[in-house]
Amino acid sequence: MAVTSTRASSKPLIEKRSIDYIPETERHGRLLSQFTLWMGANLQITAIVTGALAVVLGGDVFWSLIGLLIGQLLGGGVMALHAAQGPKLGLPQMISSRVQFGVYGAAIPIVLVCLMYLGFTATGTVLSGQALGQLFGVSDSVGILIFASVIVLVTVLGYRVIHFIGRVASVIGVIAFVYLFARLMSQTDVGALLQIRHFSWSGFLLAVSLAASWQIAFGPYVADYSRYLPSQTSSVKTFFAAGAGSVIGAQVAMILGVFAAASANGQFAGHEVAYIVGLGGTGATAALLYFSIAFGKVTISTLNSYGSFMCIATIISGFRGHLNVTRLQRLVFVLVIVGAATLIALLGQHSFLGAFKSFILFLLAFFTPWSAINLVDYYCITRERYDVPALADPNGRYGRWNALGISVYVFGVLVQLPFIATKFYTGPLVEEMGGVDISWIIGLVVPAALYYVVAKKWHSAVPDQLILPIEQDTVDAQPSRAGRIQAV
């Protein structure tokens, strides 16, 4: 299944592909890289802060830990189902949404995904700027600018470098987290914290929602980083490799955040990075921890920036037809994306924690319906039988606008509004539910069931089998496969 080392080493350092289909001759990589990439992406400071929010906002340690784990498993399952699409289709995640929304209509969820990437990049940049500011003895604002420069470089280099950074980040993250856990256990009576159990549905479901939203938010781009794997890669193994890396990494980070916040006596909020590093010590040890925090954010912030680039290219290509992105154009796209995120980080760095909580919870209203529709269509309606060349043709099988998919998506967003509880908006039924936000559950279940019922009856014609763009080398070597390969 894995390619030879000679073939892998022949790939250029700077990625030449963007949103186009990855031919079999260019496929490479191993499933282990999916595990290390997503573990490295989750063993980082923002995940620590997300876990801490469960306690900072009123939950106790015991039930927060259980709620976070349940949320990880639920959201991680959704995320991993998206990851399994990558090797089969050889495409970025969001371009496959054209099956459900139409070649033009897919721009609707993609625009919202771009906003998500922008927000996550900005919030991650705030924390990384704090770490680099402490490490180099400069202001947080200067630290933010240093971090943004690194993200631009890695994003421009692309897929192979991102996976390499992920492997390094996973190793550094494991070492740093083991050390921080050891220090925390030596300074805190963990047993006493676990004995404090004041269960409330609002606090428990907040923890579930925090973890689930964290995982679901990876869905719109997780296949971007599995699409280079050989097409014969097992979908089940891809599911477990990406899902396990993400769930384990995020849960470990959030456990640390829960214990840190519970033992901080109110000193955590507003000083997240400094408090976490303070657990480990001072001097050279603190410097190494600041470095590990900043390096850990490189992986996830690069994923967000790279995903933004892919989404913008997907939107443009949908309306203009096939799009060849040059390296200069890639650089311009990335500079605009990272520049916007950096500006937001600089302007919002002093009011981070509360805004971040509201942001990640509000995102659920827009991305759970998209995930529900995409997964039901791929696994239950079309059953992996996509016409990949038609994804670039507004006059083809999937058309310009798919009223069915768009209508279900809009309904999926609207049906959540009465149950949303954030600073941006609070629905009229939240108080009757005891202040519990259950919108994400409704946003997954209702659109999934509705789309399944209506798509079974009115879905456009589904191919008899997966149709891929023609690969001349493959056709020459295996003439028997030519019948299911279609030219663009």
Residue-by-residue DSSP string for 124-186: HHHHHHHHHHHHHT--HHHHHHHHHHHHHHHHHH-HHHHHHHHHHHHHHHHHHHHHHHHHHHH
Q: What is the mean pLDDT of the chain?
A: 82
- The whole-number average pLDDT for the span 457-483 is 64
- The number of folded domains in the chain is 1
Give burial (CB, 10 Å; 0-12/13-18/19+) of 341: buried
CA distances from 237 to 30, 80, 228, 371, 378 (A): 11, 10, 15, 20, 17
Which helix (H) or strand (E) segment holds residue 47: the answer is: helix 45-56
**DSSP-based three-state secondary structure for 270:** coil
Q: What per-residue confidence (pLDDT) applies to 271? A: 67
The token pair that represents 34 in the structure block: 């999916």
Q: Are 19 and 267 in contact (CB under 8 A)?
A: no
pLDDT tens, position by position, 250-278:
999 999 889 888 887 766 666 677 778 77
Q: What per-residue confidence (pLDDT) applies to 10? A: 52
CA distances from 148 to 35, 158, 341, 345 (A): 26, 16, 9, 10
Quick one: CA dihedral 457, 458, 459, 462, positive or negative? Answer: positive
Q: How many residues are given for the chain?
A: 488
Residue 485 β-bridge partners: 468
Rounded to two decimals, the pTM is 0.83
Q: Is residue 93 part of a domain?
A: yes
Q: How far apart are CA 317 and CA 37, in angstroms?
A: 28
- Give, rounded to a whole angstrom, the gap between the first and last alpha carbons of the chain: 27
Q: What per-residue confidence (pLDDT) applies to 451? A: 96
Asked if the model's pLDDT at residue 119 lies above 60, the reply is yes
Asked if the model's pLDDT at residue 315 lies above 90, the reply is no
- The whole-number average pLDDT for the span 231-241 is 94
Q: Supply the DSSP string of 238-269, one letter for each residue.
A: HHHHHHHHHHHHHHHHHHHHHHHHHTSTT-ST
CA-based nearest residue to 360, from 467, 211, 237 = 211
Q: How far apart are CA 146 and CA 129, in angstroms?
A: 8
Q: Is residue 131 part of a domain?
A: yes
CA-based nearest residue to 72, from 196, 208, 194 = 208
- The whole-number average pLDDT for the span 61-76 is 95
Confidence tier at 34 by pLDDT (50, 70, 90): very high
Confidence tier at 21 by pLDDT (50, 70, 90): confident
281: left (phi over 0), alpha (psi -120 to 50) or beta: left
Q: What per-residue confidence (pLDDT) applies to 478? A: 46
* Phi–psi pair at 133, nearest 5 degrees: -60, -45
Q: Is residue 422 part of a domain?
A: no
- For residue 107, what is the domain's CATH number? 1.10.4160.10
Q: Is residue 280 part of a domain?
A: yes
Q: How far apart are CA 410 and CA 422, in angstroms?
A: 20
CA distances from 36 to 95, 117, 145, 299, 485 (A): 25, 21, 27, 11, 33
Q: Is residue 450 part of a domain?
A: no
The token pair that represents 378 in the structure block: 């791929």
Q: How far apart are CA 54 and CA 207, in angstroms?
A: 5
CA dihedral 359, 78, 224, 291 (to 10 degrees): 50
Q: What per-residue confidence (pLDDT) applies to 1? A: 43
- Position of tokens 């997964």? 375
pLDDT tens, position by position, 402-446:
999 999 999 999 999 998 887 777 888 888 776 777 888 899 999
Q: Is residue 102 part of a domain?
A: yes
The token pair that represents 179 in the structure block: 């050390």
List of residues 6+ apart from 269 with CB closer than 8 A: 56, 353
List of residues 6+ apart from 199 with CB closer than 8 A: 60, 63
- The whole-number average pLDDT for the span 76-84 is 95
Q: What per-residue confidence (pLDDT) applies to 488? A: 33
- The whole-number average pLDDT for the span 274-287 is 77
List of residues 6+ apart from 120 with CB closer than 8 A: 46, 217, 300, 301, 304
- The whole-number average pLDDT for the span 441-467 is 89
Q: Is residue 312 part of a domain?
A: yes
Q: Where are the beta strands (DSSP E) in 332-452?
A: none
Asked if the model's pLDDT at residue 37 lies above 80, the reply is yes
pLDDT tens, position by position, 154-181:
888 877 888 788 888 888 888 888 888 8
The maximal CA–CA distance of the chain, rounded, in angstroms, is: 69
Q: Is residue 210 part of a domain?
A: yes
What is the residue range of 61's domain? 5-354
